[in-house]
Structure 1
Amino acid sequence: MIIVTGGAGFIGSNIVCGLNARGYTDILVVDDLSDGRKCLNLADTDIHDYMDKDDFLARLQTGEDFGKVEAVFHEGACSATTEWDGRFVMKVNYEYTKALLAWCVARKVPLIYASSASVYGMGPTFREARSYERPLNMYAYSKFLFDCHLRPQLENLESQVVGLRYFNVYGPREQHKGSMASVAFHFHNQLNESGRVRLFEGSDGYGPGEQRRDFIHVDDVVAVNLWLLENPAVKGIFNLGTGRAQSFNDVARAAIRWGKAHGTEGGGIDYIPFPDHLRGRYQSFTEADMDALRKAGYDRPFMDVETGVPRYLDWLAARS
């Protein structure tokens, strides 16, 4: 059996799809379906069972076994960077992951978990070292603190534990995330509604729409997760981006080109005032240093936005 927490969410459901594509169906999905719309992410997948996240945690804490578990992909978390209820975030993200780590280590079950590039704060260096980490919100702090909890243990662990610091992930099965969905998703909706997309004006010395992020397609994220499943000797905390920052304008232009090729009228960009509440808390630049993952043996290329955005919008269009 393979366990995927957050398995009805964005990245988790894509991992389930990737496992299905490789013939795995003995999958336990763990999630919180208070928002029942997330079930649509699993409607075309094959799994063995589903369990609520609180029930799963209770069973972990009593030391229950789940039969032979080949690996755990831990994608479940409160992912809202705007959530400031620190007690809630630390319970759901930090304490939960500590309990899962203890359970996996005791049974030598590989654990591959979602960390976040948000641990680096404003950057400008995005390398897996304590000197470059300065989280700016509760979500980032919860991810950072678990990475700090893991680091002293890594050398002595007898089983695989890997933290992946996701950069700006976009792609299928994120529609339930609302405002937290990727800009590619929002651009698609904006083009359908008005034929135009909206971007922030300049900030932190960047021109309008020229803020730059490391945008990575979820298919590439899944490919790395499954590569780790096949390479259990790899342990550690790794960045997961493309290694190349691209501007929001690049994403917008890729979406506009796709729209024009599919008959969308217009195709302009409107620049809106930069929100005051984001000043000093907005990553205007991110770019993953990918040396560590490459040195660990991952050598496949990553999609740029010119390739990945049309691929994603084709998927959205086929389901609209």
Structure 2
Amino acid sequence: MIIVTGGAGFIGSNLVAALNARGMTDILVVDDLYEGRKCLNLSDCDFTDYREYDDFIDLVRRGHDFGPVEAVFHQGACSDTTEWDGRFVMARNFEYSRSLYEWTTARSVPLIYASSASVYGMGPDFVETREAEHPLNMYAFSKFVFDQYVRARTSASQVAGLRYFNVYGPREGHKDGMASVARHFSAQIETTGQCKLFEGTDGYANGEQRRDFIHVDDVVAVNLWLMDNPQVSGIFNCGTGRSQTFNDVADAVIGWHGQGNKHYVAFPAHLQGRYQSFTEADIAALRRAGYTAAFMPVEVGVPRYLDAIAKTRES
């Protein structure tokens, strides 16, 4: 059995679909379906069991035997960066993850978990060292604390954390305002004919702020590679290693639609000094660990994503 927490969410559901593509269907999906629209992410997937998020961790803490477990992909979390209830976030993210760590390591089950590039705060360095880490909100802090917990311990079984950068791709429709800029730009082209981008800030020209945008298929590929290589443990950046501009994303969206233009809006005052104008994953550690596959640039990944959206609508 494979266990996927957050299995109805964006990255988790793509993982379930990818496992299915390998012929693997003995999957326990764990999620919180208070946001019921997430169920649509799994409507084309096969799995053998489902547990609500809180029920599952209660079983874990009581030492429940789920039978032979090949790996746990821990993707579930409170990912709302505006949530400042520290006790809630730490219980949902850190304490939950710690319980899973204790359960998996006691049974020699590989644990592959989602960390976040948000631990780096404003940067400017994005390398997996303590010196580069400056979390600026509770979500980032909770991920940072669990990474610290993992670093302070040794395990005979695999424990691998992936610090996701700006992930985009299919099965994120339920995220609304938290969805990727590629999705927002596409919706804006369809409704108004214009992509809205920020004017220049932090020394960058209009729309030239840069992020490390990574397609969810590449994120899934790294997760599955870790499962295939249980000798690899550690905390790794999961980005392309190459930043691209918001203009690049907008141009890819406009090119796919064959129409539209860019419109620059004033940079919001409330984001001054709190906005990442630049992110770029240092992926040297991941390469040293043995991951050799190439990552899609937005010129390839965005059209692939929009093709998937169009195909879903047609079906």
TM norm structure 2? 0.98
Q: Deviations over 1:135-190 (max 9, x none)?
A: 1111111101110111011xx31000000000000000001011110000101111
Whether 1:258 aligns to 2:256 is: yes
Residue 276 of structure 1 deviates from its aligned partner by 2.0
Residue 85 of structure 1 deviates from its aligned partner by 1.6
SS in 1 for 2:152: helix
Counterpart position of 2:300 = 307
Q: Bigger shift: 268-277 or 175-184?
A: 268-277
Q: Deviations over 1:265-320 (max 9, x none)?
A: xx111111212222222111000000000000000000000000000001111223
SS in 2 for 1:319: helix
Distance 1:212 1:256 in 2: 18
List gaps (5 residues or longer) in structure 1. Answer: none
Q: Deviations over 1:80-127 (max 9, x none)?
A: 112222111111111110111111011110000000001001111100
Distance 1:135 1:281 in 2: 11
User: For residue 218 of structure 1, what is the amino acid of its counterpart?
Assistant: V
Distance 1:142 1:206 in 2: 31
Identity %: 68
Distance 1:53 1:134 in 2: 29
User: For residue 194 of structure 1, what is the amino acid of its counterpart?
Assistant: T
Counterpart position of 1:276 = 269
Matches within 5 A, 1:33-48: 33-48=33-48
Task: Give the alignment partner of residue 222 of structure 2, picking from 221, 224, 227.
Answer: 224
Q: Bigger shift: 79-88 or 25-34?
A: 79-88
User: For residue 312 of structure 1, what is the amino acid of its counterpart?
Assistant: Y
Counterpart position of 2:143 = 143
Distance 1:202 1:84 in 2: 29
Matches within 5 A, 1:101-250: 101-153=101-153, 156-250=154-248
User: For residue 274 of structure 1, what is the amino acid of its counterpart?
Assistant: F
Residue 215 of structure 1 deviates from its aligned partner by 0.3
List gaps (5 residues or longer) in structure 2. Answer: none
Whether 1:289 aligns to 2:282 is: yes
Distance 1:278 1:109 in 2: 42
SS in 2 for 1:312: helix
Distance 1:192 1:83 in 2: 31
Distance 1:151 1:48 in 2: 33
Matches within 5 A, 1:1-16: 1-16=1-16
Counterpart position of 2:67 = 67
Q: Deviations over 1:220-258 (max 9, x none)?
A: 000010011100000000000000000000000000000
SS in 1 for 2:89: helix
Distance 1:199 1:231 in 2: 41
SS in 2 for 1:302: coil
Distance 2:43 2:278 in 1: 36
Distance 1:268 1:107 in 2: 55
Distance 1:89 1:310 in 2: 35
Count the aligned residue pairs. 313
Distance 1:288 1:19 in 2: 26
Distance 1:137 1:202 in 2: 24
Distance 2:200 2:192 in 1: 23
TM norm structure 1? 0.97
Distance 1:4 1:135 in 2: 26
Q: Deviations over 1:190-210 (max 9, x none)?
A: 111011110111121111111
User: For residue 165 of structure 1, what is the amino acid of its counterpart?
Assistant: R
Counterpart position of 1:316 = 309
SS in 1 for 2:91: helix
User: For residue 246 of structure 2, what is the amino acid of its counterpart?
Assistant: F
SS in 2 for 1:238: strand
- What RMSD in Å do the two structures reach over aligned CA positions? 0.8
